[in-house]
């Protein structure tokens, strides 16, 4: 292998496992155990550092996603206050929600903060690890997108019937979030391919 490619290849290796970081990001797609979670975060940090000169647009896009999520927080909290306290089957207890690659790219590019681990263990099952006695322990911007995207049937009924524009506009904002997140992932993968 020519020397310049050998050096480049070494930069892609995790010093503790000697595996390419790209492998850490794809081999354990759900990163349910602490070691693979840490490896994925290290891999993403390393990739972003290596491409930092080309990250400006990605960081701006991630910041716009974070702003949009925060702009929905009051309305989403309002919906939750009207439905969750009386819920007989809370979704955070039964749902199998996990951070996916798009979530992690967003968290790294936005600087919103990194959770200490995946929401579920490698074996799955049980309530979400972020659930505590007062509800979700994470600010909305740090939750898996699925937690914001999912409006349960009682909440959808309110959104459809609601006159308050902050609530009735939620589904449009969710679609816009989905669009921007897809753009962010595509931009990240394109950058990595260069
Ligand atoms: S979002 Fe819906 S399903 Fe989840 S806890 Fe609240 S009311 Fe229950
Ligand atoms: S991250 Fe928070 S909102 Fe999402 S499933 Fe876990 S406890 Fe529920």
Q: Who wins on pLDDT, 47 or 168?
A: 47
- 120 C-beta closer than 6 A to ligand 2: no
> What integer best gives the mean pLDDT of the chain?
85
- 146 C-beta closer than 6 A to ligand 2: no
- Closest C-alpha to ligand 2, atom 5: 92
Q: Which of 113, 115, 144, 145 to mutate to test the pocket of ligand 2 (most atoms within 8 A of CB)?
A: 144
Residue in the block written with tokens 């480049």:
8
Q: What is the mean pLDDT of residues 137-166?
A: 93
- Domain presence at residue 41: no
**Residue 167, pLDDT score:** 87
- Domain presence at residue 4: no
Q: What is the mean pLDDT of residues 64-85?
A: 95
- Residue 156 to residue 193: CA distance in whole angstroms: 40
- Domain presence at residue 30: no
Q: What is the mean pLDDT of residues 129-136?
A: 92
The pLDDT > 70 percentage for the chain reads 84
- Closest C-alpha to ligand 1, atom 6: 84
How would residue 26 be classed by pLDDT, with cut points 50, 70 and 90?
Answer: low
Q: Who wins on pLDDT, 123 or 190?
A: 190
Q: How many domains does the chain contain in total?
A: 1
Range of the domain at 79: 54-193
Indicate the DSSP class of residue 84. G
- Domain presence at residue 22: no
Cα 14 to ligand 2 centre (Å): 30
**Residue 19, pLDDT score:** 53
Q: What is the mean pLDDT of residues 154-160?
A: 93
- Domain presence at residue 68: yes
- Say which ligand is closest to the CA of 146: 2
- Closest C-alpha to ligand 2, atom 4: 147
- Domain presence at residue 117: yes
Contact at 8 Å (CB) between 107 and 65?
Answer: no
- Domain presence at residue 88: yes
Q: Who wins on pLDDT, 120 or 15?
A: 120
Contact at 8 Å (CB) between 44 and 105?
Answer: yes
Per DSSP, the three-state class of 88 is coil
- Domain presence at residue 106: yes
Cα 134 to ligand 1 centre (Å): 14
For strand 131-132 and strand 135-136, is the pairing parallel, antiparallel, or unpaired? antiparallel
What token pair was written down for 81?
């206050």
Specify the pTM: 0.85
Residue 48 pLDDT > 90? yes
- Say which ligand is closest to the CA of 148: 2
- 143 C-beta closer than 6 A to ligand 2: yes
Q: Which of 91, 128, 159 to mutate to test the pocket of ligand 1 (most atoms within 8 A of CB)?
A: 91
Residue 13 pLDDT > 80? no
């Amino acid at each position: 292998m020519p020397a310049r490619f050998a050096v480049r290849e070494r930069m892609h290796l995790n010093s503790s496992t000697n595996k390419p970081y790209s492998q850490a990001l794809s081999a354990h797609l759900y990163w349910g155990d602490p070691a693979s979670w840490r490896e994925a975060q290290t891999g993403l940090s390393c990739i972003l550092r290596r491409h930092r000169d080309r990250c400006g647009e990605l960081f701006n896009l991630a910041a716009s996603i974070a702003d949009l999520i925060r702009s929905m927080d009051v309305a989403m909290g309002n919906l939750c206050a009207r439905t969750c306290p009386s819920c007989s089957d809370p979704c955070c207890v039964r749902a199998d929600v996990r951070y996916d690659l798009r979530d992690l790219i967003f968290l790294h590019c936005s600087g919103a903060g990194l959770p200490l681990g995946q929401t579920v263990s490698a074996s799955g099952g049980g309530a979400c690890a972020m659930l505590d006695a007062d509800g979700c322990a994470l600010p909305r911007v740090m939750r898996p997108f699925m937690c914001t995207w999912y409006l349960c049937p009682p909440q959808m009924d309110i959104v459809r019937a609601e006159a308050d524009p902050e609530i009735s506009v939620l589904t449009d904002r969710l679609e816009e979030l989905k669009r921007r997140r897809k753009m962010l992932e595509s931009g990240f993968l394109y950058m990595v391919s260069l």
